[in-house]
Structure 1
Amino acid sequence: MRNIVFGILVVFFAFLSCRNDEDSLQKIDQIFNLYIKDGAGKDLLNTGKPGSFSYSMNDTFGNTVTAPVSSSLKMTSDSVYYIEYIAGAKRRTLDSISPDNRTYHSKIALELKRTVNNVADTINDTLEIQYEWTPSVFQVSKVYYNHELKFTKEPGAPNVVTVIK
């Protein structure tokens, strides 16, 4: 009889531990896509086309002078290339007025290289990503490109930044 009661208690507590509490989950939305185009709308990340850029990203807050940040060069279904940044750069607290609402930021040095008419061209740009943290969400909130605001988070909208070079 004791074994039956003990077995029922074990099953009951196992059932309680498996319940799903949706309120305690934090939504994480930290991926954003960076498109680089010229004034006519030409994709400047398609390295197969003349005048396009190759790129590298380094964490400005990194431990060393060169602290590469991982990213991926991806392509949309209509053959437009973009840089997908997921994470990797160190985040520093920018604002923590409330323990339930904080702002973090990362700074990335973006180096764009291309060759035009046999002349090497290197452009050094900066990318600052601001993140909003609350108990319910951690998300990209703003993106600055060369200190100019290029993106502000809209609820439900994808995190897409387009830069005109």
Structure 2
Amino acid sequence: MKNIFLYILLLSGVVISCGSDDDSLQRIDQILNIYMKSDTNPDLLNAKKSGSFTSFSVNDMLGDKENSPVTTMPLRMRQDSVFYIEYIGGAQRKKFDSAGTTYYSRMALTLNRTVNNAPQPVVTDILEIRYRNTPEVFQVSEVLYNNKSVFTKGAGTPNSINNVTITK
């Protein structure tokens, strides 16, 4: 009889400890779809279009080494054949403030272009992503491209894939 009571007590403890409290989970919202366009070219990431960039690479400026490539930024294509860079994560984040409510990542985006089969000078731009951190959500709050704000997201805005358009 003692053994049955102990098993029931143990089973009750396991069931209670496995319960979840959805309010204690922090939502993560950091996916970016980065589009590039110009006044004359609506898709600078389509290597087949004249004047577009033929390739790109991304280096984490806050990484442990001077050369810290961010490899989790693939080039994707929408159904309407517009290309974008998908950023899911991978760059180091550092505290922006002492309270730990704002973080940032900084990356060097190197863009290569070929015109008439001749390589053009390499373009290196700076992409900075700022994040808001609360007990409820860790989310993108602002994206800066060459120190110019190209995307902002207000506090309390629902989680979603964040579309960022850069005009060059």
Is the TM-score greater than 0.5?
A: yes
> Which has a greater percent of strand?
1
Residue in structure 1 matched with residue 63 of structure 2 by the alignment = 62
Shift of 1:33: 1.0
Pair 1:74–1:28, CA change in 2 (3 A): same
C-alpha distance in structure 2 between counterparts of 1:65 and 1:20, whole Å:
42
Tell me which amino acid in the other structure corresponds to 1:31: I
Question: Where in structure 1 are there 5+ consecutive unaligned residues?
Answer: none
Tell me which amino acid in the other structure corresponds to 2:80: D
C-alpha distance in structure 2 between counterparts of 1:86 and 1:126, whole Å:
17
Return structure 1 stretches of 4+ with deviation > 4 angstroms.
none
- What percentage of residue pairs aligned between the two structures are identical? 51
Matches within 5 A, 1:1-165: 1-53=1-53, 54-70=55-71, 71-97=73-99, 102-121=101-120, 122-154=122-154, 155-156=157-158, 157-165=160-168
Shift of 1:40: 3.8
C-alpha distance in structure 1 between counterparts of 2:110 and 2:56, whole Å:
5
Give CA deviations for 1:112-157 in whole Å, capped at 9, x if unaligned: 1010123322211110110111111111110000100001114125
C-alpha distance in structure 2 between counterparts of 1:65 and 1:34, whole Å:
24
Question: Where in structure 2 are there 5+ consecutive unaligned residues?
Answer: none
Give CA deviations for 1:75-129 in whole Å, capped at 9, x if unaligned: 11211110011111111111133xxx61111110001101012332221111011
TM-score, normalised with respect to structure 1: 0.91
Q: Secondary structure at the match of 1:96?
A: coil
- Count of residue correspondences: 162
Give CA deviations for 1:9-52 in whole Å, capped at 9, x if unaligned: 12211110111101110001111110011214521111233322
Q: Calculate the aligned-residue CA RMSD, in Å.
A: 1.5
Q: Secondary structure at the match of 2:45?
A: coil
C-alpha distance in structure 2 between counterparts of 1:49 and 1:10, whole Å:
66
Which deviates more, 81-90 or 114-123?
Answer: 114-123
C-alpha distance in structure 1 between counterparts of 2:28 and 2:98, whole Å:
19
C-alpha distance in structure 2 between counterparts of 1:17 and 1:64, whole Å:
42
Tell me which amino acid in the other structure corresponds to 2:4: I
